[in-house]
Structure 1
Amino acid sequence: MHMSWPWPEQSFSRRRALAAATGLAAGAVLPLAGASRAASAPVGEPALAAGEYTNPVIWQDFADIDVIRVGDTYYASASTMHYSPGAPVLRSYDLVHWEIAGHSVPVLDFGAKYDLNGARGYVRGIWASSLAYRPSNRTFYWLGQIDFARTYVYTATAAEGPWSRLTTIGTPYYDAGLLVDSDDTLYVAYGNTTISVAQLSPDGRSQVRTQQVFTTPSSIGTLEGSRFYKINGQYYIFLTRPANGQYILKSSGGPFGPYTLRQVLLDLRGPISGGGVPHQGGLVQTQSGAWYYLAFVDAYPGGRMPALAPVTWTSDGWPVVQTVNGAWGTTYPSPAVPAPPRQVTPMTGVDAFDGTSLKPRWEWNHNPDNTKWSLGNGLTLRTATVTNDLYWARNTLTHRIQGPTSTATVQLDHSAMTDGDRAGLALLRDSSAWIGLKREGGTTRLVMVNGLTMDTNWNTTGTGYEAASAPVTGTRVWLRASADIRPGSARPGRFSYSTDGVTFTRLGPDFSMGNDWRFFMGYRFALFSYATRALGGSVRVTRFELATP
């Protein structure tokens, strides 16, 4: 799950400290997946179709990618930390255009801290994990460790769900990759620096055996983020050196080795200007036999963005990432795949909050109190927490930002707010700001609030201050936040409002969106409603639009 650009040693030391606090080894990366992960022999040059695609293929925050193909459909999973539901399942028919199909972890029921109940789960939760498909029972599997304590396995017969917990396993498989072998045996590769392989029981509910298979040489440093494959009868463990390298372990002697190590890439220039080195992703084979590597690029303040490159193979069975002028290409020829059965659902556009459930583009900041929100004639957010700290407020609903720049506009009915309530639209991370409404003394005002901050232990250090305000009339207002998430330096977020949905007025100064990596997740747009005095008030969001220039 782990990324450490541009200071790998600092990131790992922080991981080690975190692990020490829980008594386990440090490191974290997303495991692998398979369709099964056992695959046919590598082929040479990828078959190319007319046209090209541009990297990043998704300019939204999806890190620690695991990618598989099931028939003519591609699926990927990603880290979500403290957001709920967790572990999104992405779907594509061409490896380039993706939609969010669902989530493998419906609720983070791993302790009260994930409910914002007396403790908080920021930068915990769903780290690098694995997605796989088992043909023998036509079932999808998600596997990941939580809090260095144990491993959870969820299953579903359809990628969009419903997903349910199959089991917990006492061994925490850190940054695990799940392999469904050609004989249907389940194996897990996992670990940080010391890499191990576990064999699971036929029903996937328990561990049969585990064995250390590799120790990373000190000259390399840290390896983690396992993905596990069987290709042409040989076993491969794809490993990440955070956050600038990829290595491969290869065994012709079975899943428990012995393994030989080879470097796949190191310090390769990435396709996003100002961003990092593509790393910590997965391999996948198309229907025509071509291979691709879907990795992510550190690109803060927005997060970690998926990028795709073709892979060829040496005569002795090692993968080679195809580069353009010595770099991961900004463009490549499009994969040669069958015509898609339909167009995927865009990750931008309008949500009127129709239907009976939230669309999978939305994730809550920690688990919601489901008694305090509802759908029907829009999204109603009833206050769920009495606090003066947005970071403690339950039922804050978040949406990834579209890069390189995008704007979120919300139509909000504030007629049911009560004194002491706060509601609005935030740019949410460990340093945050928002535009919204304050209700005091029977009067509602528009405000822009800056200075919400956390320290590196994710404790609140600033609850914000009012940087600008304006009167508001009527019961309906449009709130807008514009975000520039191009990496390389701190970027501006800007807030504005409208009383008619047409003419918008700036409110407050630019908000500087920090590009520090340590929170891992990138900035998000966030809808919130909380009380500072007493519960009982609410707001109704009737429209959300995410638009790019």
Structure 2
Amino acid sequence: MNHVKNHSSDTLASVWIADNNDGTYTNNILWADYPDTDVIRVEDTYYLISTSMHLFPGAPILSSKDLIHWKYHSYALPYDQLLLLANEGHSLDLLNEHIYDKGAWAGSLRYHPILKKFYYLVNMQDGTPEEYAILSIADDAVGPWKLYRLSQRLYDPGLLFDDDGTAYVVHGQGQLYLSRLKLIDSLTGEYIVDDTFVAPDDNNHYDKPLYDYKEGYYNEGAHAYKIKDTYYILTTPTWAGTDTKKEICIQTKDIVNGPYSVSDIHSSFMNFGENGIHQGGIVDVPQTNGESEWWSVIFQDRHKLGRTPTLQPVFWEKDENNLEWPMIGARNKKGCLAVPTFQKPTITTNFPATSSKTIQYFDDFSEKELDLCWQWNHIPDDSKWSLAERPGYLRLYTTTVTTDFSCAQNTLRQRVIGPQSTATVRLVIQQMNPGDIAGIAVHQQDYNYIGIKSSENGEEKKIIINDNGKEMATASLPSDISEVWIRATTIKMEYRSQFSYSFDGINYTQLGDTYEMHYGNYVGMGFGVFHFATKQLGGFIDIDSFEINTSTLKENLKPFGTKIEAEHYDNQKYELQQNVKAQHLHNPLTTWTADSHPTSLLTKWGSAFDLSLDNLHNGDWVQYNQVDLANGALNFIARISSIATGGKLEVRLNHWDGPLLASLKLPCTENREVFQEIHGEMDTSITGTQTIYLVYYGPDKICRVNWFLFR
């Protein structure tokens, strides 16, 4: 059984919306794990794909009319067909090991205008040593999709249909290769690897070396285009001498023979540590004058939250050799800048507002098909769940006998939403067997969860917190309780979780402490609803509803009297330094800090959970839109650290050199991790919603700003 249509509620869930309703949008357009994005336009609709790895059905396809609001459209990798194409001994379904951090990743979506078919091409690793490529084809993006297994691996494939219909694939990591596909059935659209293109190598692969980038490592994530008479290949290596990714472009008039020219097209970053924006596609937005705007959907690595898509403008710029390049980001002094907030694309096609509603995260399981927002952690056993046995509920039977949640089949999953979110599930638990555990987890491969645990003899139940296999807290469950609401909340920069329960859906009691999320490598954290057995199969639960809410404020508003996290800026001073490898060392950026006390392990992997604005040089500024100053703020309060005296923080209106609203001398706190709240008087004549700038003056790199507010 597979997903076929979207039934999401449009009313109950509170989720991140990128549209500011003032002609601008604020990134991330999807504040969740949708990595390795590729985007195309077919007529007036945009389609976005993302990596799925161990989640099924695989290859989510989202659609939009404006590149801002997205909804689920289909999945290009139905798992019943994948099982038929997989290697013997595969681990796709958790019955023989697992494919955490494997599976299908970094695919390519293209539309063939001659055959009038959609194509999705991806490399597949099913837990066995042999990798292979899957080509999925459909007449319509909603499906049905038909899968074909190709004869070799195609790492991070970038599919390209030339003007005459010839199909090429750019693929590889470091050394890039070119392969050609051969059409063997024009009715179905099936292609195979063309074994007449070049002689086979030692692995019987038909690849031609295309380009080997030497100025950074791990050059991968190919996206191939032909625009007018020029081929463009977008890929993502590291900046030389750093672990930070950037985006480059390789261009040529002859994709098979070259010569090839290469240039950086994006080497900026955006308000989250030192993570460069990288690995995404570009797409055109036609204008009424016959020209086009160009845009890129390209992700930002937010670690445990996952890799989240941003929408960046693209401008075309000629170099000294008269070669034209698609520069990703806003045109900026000495380069281009990743934009947190920007003007929306100029969409000239009229479309109904209802066709562009954002993804919602509420399900009452009242439909006959499972909502497209859901994926399973590995391929499920479809005989062990049902929407029909009790209409209005999802019935979830135990499928696995285990004590390890990560090995339990049939865990139903949604993405954790940033910057912090809460998932609530209502469970009916009368039919659990002795030893059964059911609940909601925050997980990738490792996990923590809140669950209902039935005793060994089945005579009583308790509520438990389990942190990666260790039971951390318990609460008794009254014997007359048949329904329970349980809740998982991800807090403070997506890196820790808390759990609570309720017997009435209104009053919640926190259980246990605050727990650190356990991250893998390539897939962000998810909320997983589960039911597994520790003794014997046969029990079941009924899931009445599931809802995700975020605490994110809508339309980028920053209310009066509330903390404004310093990293939530809308623009910043940024200059690309000439012949400098580590660009981030010369511009404002955000770095990790402890949220309440110094710690010896201040890394994104350890016990640092908060960001501060850092790396400030004399004259640096950051801009904040839609700041509510109400009827006139009396005070400006900022939480700062400073390792020396002599610094000054100014608040200015509308421009970095605009009217001065407040000025604070920064005291020395002696340690970068020792913060102090400082207060200053405001110009009370400025009222209402305004754009304000924080401007730093003083010695370089002595000051950090954690948050600020107006009161």
- Tell me if both proteins adopt one fold, taking TM over 0.5 as the criterion: yes
Are 1:122 and 2:132 matched, yes or no?
no
User: Unaligned stretches of 5+ in structure 2?
Assistant: 1-20, 185-189, 198-205, 239-243, 552-711
Unaligned runs of 5+ in 1: 1-48, 453-462
Q: In the alignment, which residue of structure 2 is the partner of 1:182? A: 163
SS in structure 2 of the partner of residue 286 of structure 1: strand
Aligned match for 2:114, one of 136, 139, 143: 136
What is the deviation of 1:256? 4.3
Distance of 2:146 and 2:470 partners within structure 1: 39
Residue 65 of structure 1 is aligned with which of 21, 37, 44? 37
Deviation for aligned residue 1:478: 0.5
In 1, the alpha carbon distance for the partners of 2:283 and 2:216 equals 26
Corresponding residue to 2:134 among 146, 152, 155:
152
* Structure 1 position 258 matched with structure 2 position 259: yes
Partner amino acid, structure 2, of 1:523: M
The separation in 2 between residues aligned to 1:483 and 1:265, in whole angstroms, is: 32
TM-superposed deviation, 1:351:
0.4
Among residues 312, 325, 329, which one is paired with 1:322 in the alignment? 329
CA contact (8 A) 2:134 2:150 kept: yes
Alpha-carbon distance between aligned partners in 2 of 1:228 and 1:309, rounded to the nearest angstrom: 18
Show the counterpart of 1:212.
208
Q: Matches of 2:393 and 2:439 in 1, distance apart?
A: 15
Residue number among 503, 520, 523 corresponding to 1:521 in the alignment? 523
Query: 2:146 and 2:460 mapped to 1: Cα distance?
Result: 43
Q: Among residues 486, 495, 498, which one is paired with 2:493 in the alignment?
A: 486
Alignment partner, residue 42 of structure 1: none
Percent identical across equivalent pairs? Answer: 34
Instruction: Name whichever of 478-487 and 310-319 sits farther off.
Output: 478-487
Q: Is the 8 A contact 2:314 2:330 kept in 1?
A: no
Match of 1:221 among 190, 195, 217: 217
1:164–1:444 distance in 2 versus 1, CA, 3 Å:
farther
2:513 aligned with 1:531, yes or no?
no
Query: What amino acid sits opposite 2:299 in the alignment?
Result: F
Q: CA deviation at 1:219?
A: 3.2
> Residue 548 and residue 50 in structure 1: after superposition, are their counterparts in 2 closer, same or farther (change >3 A)?
closer
Q: Distance in 1 between matches of 2:317 and 2:331?
A: 18
Distance (whole Å) between structure 1 residues aligned to residue 416 and residue 493 of structure 2: 11
Q: How far apart, CA to CA, are the structure 1 residues paired with 2:275 and 2:548?
A: 26
> In the aligned structure 1, how far is the partner of 2:470 from the partner of 2:105?
29
Matched, 1:502 2:518: no
**From 463, 485, 490, the counterpart of 1:447:** 463
Post-superposition offset of 1:404: 1.0
Counterpart secondary structure, 1:371: helix
Does residue 408 (structure 1) correspond to residue 386 (structure 2)? The answer is no
Confirm or deny: 8 A CA contact 1:483 1:493 kept in the other structure: yes
RMSD after superposition: 1.9
Say if 1:348 and 1:402, in contact at 8 Å, map to a contact too. no
How many Å separate the matches in 2 of 1:81 and 1:282? 19
Q: Runs (4+) of structure 1 moved beyond 6 Å?
A: none
CA distance in 2, matches of 1:533, 1:149: 36
Counterpart contact for 1:194–1:214, Cα < 8 Å: yes
- In structure 2, give the amino acid aligned to 1:246: E
Following superposition, the deviation at residue 77 of structure 1 comes to 0.7
Query: Deviations along 1:395-423, whole A, 9 cap, x unmatched?
Result: 00000111111111111100110101010
Q: Is the 8 A contact 1:187 1:197 kept in 2?
A: yes
- Contact between 1:146 and 1:152, CA under 8 Å: does it hold in 2? yes
Report if the CA contact (8 A) 1:348-1:547 is conserved. Answer: no
The CA distance in 1 between the partners of 2:516 and 2:72, in whole Å, is 29
User: 1:348 pairs with 339, 360, 366, which one?
Assistant: 360
> What is the aligned partner in structure 2 of residue 334 from structure 1?
344
Inter-CA distance 322–124: structure 2 relative to 1 (3 Å threshold) = closer
Residue 507 of structure 1 aligns to a residue in which SS?
Answer: strand
**1:253 maps to amino acid:** D
- Structure 1 CA distance, aligned partners of 2:358 and 2:542? 24
Aligned CA distance change for structure 1 residues 449 and 182 (closer, same or farther; 3 Å): same
Partner of 1:29: none
Q: Counterpart in 2 of 1:380?
A: 395
CA distance in 1, matches of 2:168, 2:446: 40
Q: Which amino acid aligns with 1:370?
A: D
Are the structure 2 counterparts of residues 264 and 485 from structure 1 closer, same or farther at C-alpha, using a change threshold of 3 Å? farther
Q: How far does residue 227 in structure 1 lie from its aligned partner after superposition?
A: 0.5
In structure 1, distance between residues paired with 2:360 and 2:493: 18
Deviation for aligned residue 1:275: 6.4
Q: Are the counterparts in 1 of residues 315 and 331 from structure 2 also a CA contact under 8 Å? A: no
- Indicate conservation of the 8 Å contact 1:483/1:492, yes or no: yes
- Which of residues 388, 396, 402 in structure 1 aligns to 2:411? 396
Q: TM (normalized to structure 2)?
A: 0.66
Q: Deviations over 1:318-367 (max 9, x none)?
A: 11123376631111100011233334343334201122221111110100
Is 1:298 equivalent to 2:267 in the alignment? no
CA–CA separation in structure 1 for the residues paired with 2:496 and 2:25? 28
For the residues of structure 2 that align with 1:345 and 1:477, how far apart are their CA atoms? 31
Shift of 1:235: 0.7
Instruction: Give the match's secondary structure for 2:91.
Output: helix
Report the counterpart of residue 171 of structure 1 in structure 2: 152
Partner letter of residue 533 of structure 1?
K
What's the offset of the Cα at 1:132?
0.9
The one-letter code sitting in structure 2 at the alignment partner of 1:238 is L
Aligned pair count? 483
Distance 1:525 1:275, change over 3 A: farther
Does the Cα contact within 8 Å between 2:160 and 2:168 map onto a contact in 1?
Answer: yes
**CA apart distance, 1:522:** 0.8
Q: Could you tell me which amino acid in structure 1 is paired with residue 141 of structure 2?
A: A
Alignment CA distance shift 1:484-1:256 (3 Å)? farther
Counting only pairs closer than 5 Å after superposition, residues 32-51 of structure 1 correspond to structure 2 as 51=23
Segment of structure 1 superposing worse, 523-532 or 133-142: 133-142
Amino acid in the other structure paired with 2:463? V
Q: Which range is displaced more, 356-365 or 256-265?
A: 256-265
- 1:192 Cα deviation from its structure 2 partner: 1.0
Partner of 1:246: 247
> Which residue type is aligned with residue 104 of structure 1?
A
Kindly provide the amino acid, as one letter, of the partner of residue 205 in structure 1: Y
SS, match of residue 391 in structure 1? helix
- Map of 1:113 onto structure 2: 91
Query: Taking structure 1 as reference, are residues 377 and 433 closer, same or farther at Cα in structure 2, changes over 3 Å only?
Result: same
Residues 1:275 and 1:407: Cα distance change in structure 2 (over 3 Å) = farther
Q: Structure 1: which amino acid aligns with 2:504?
A: D
- Secondary structure in 2 aligned to 1:113? coil
- Give me the whole-angstrom Cα distance separating, in 1, the residues matched to 2:274 and 2:356: 27
1:467-478 map, 5 Å: 467-472=473-478, 473-478=480-485
Aligned equivalent of 1:27: none
**1:547 Cα deviation from its structure 2 partner:** 1.1
Give deviations 1:253-293, integer Å, cap 9, x for gaps: 24442221111123x121x4336211000011112211011
CA 1:195–1:273 in structure 2 vs 1: closer, same or farther (change >3 Å)?
A: closer
Contact 1:348–1:545 under 8 Å retained in 2: no
Shift of 1:205: 2.2
Summarize the Cα distance change of 1:485–1:521 in structure 2 as closer, same or farther, 3 Å threshold. farther
Residue 385 of structure 1 deviates from its aligned partner by: 0.6
Q: What SS is found at the alignment partner of 1:301? A: helix
- Residue 630 of structure 2 is matched in structure 1 by none
- Displacement of 1:98 in angstroms is 0.9
Task: Give secondary structure in 2 for the equivalent of 1:158.
Answer: coil
Structure with max Cα Rg: 2
CA contact (8 A) 1:301 1:486 kept: no
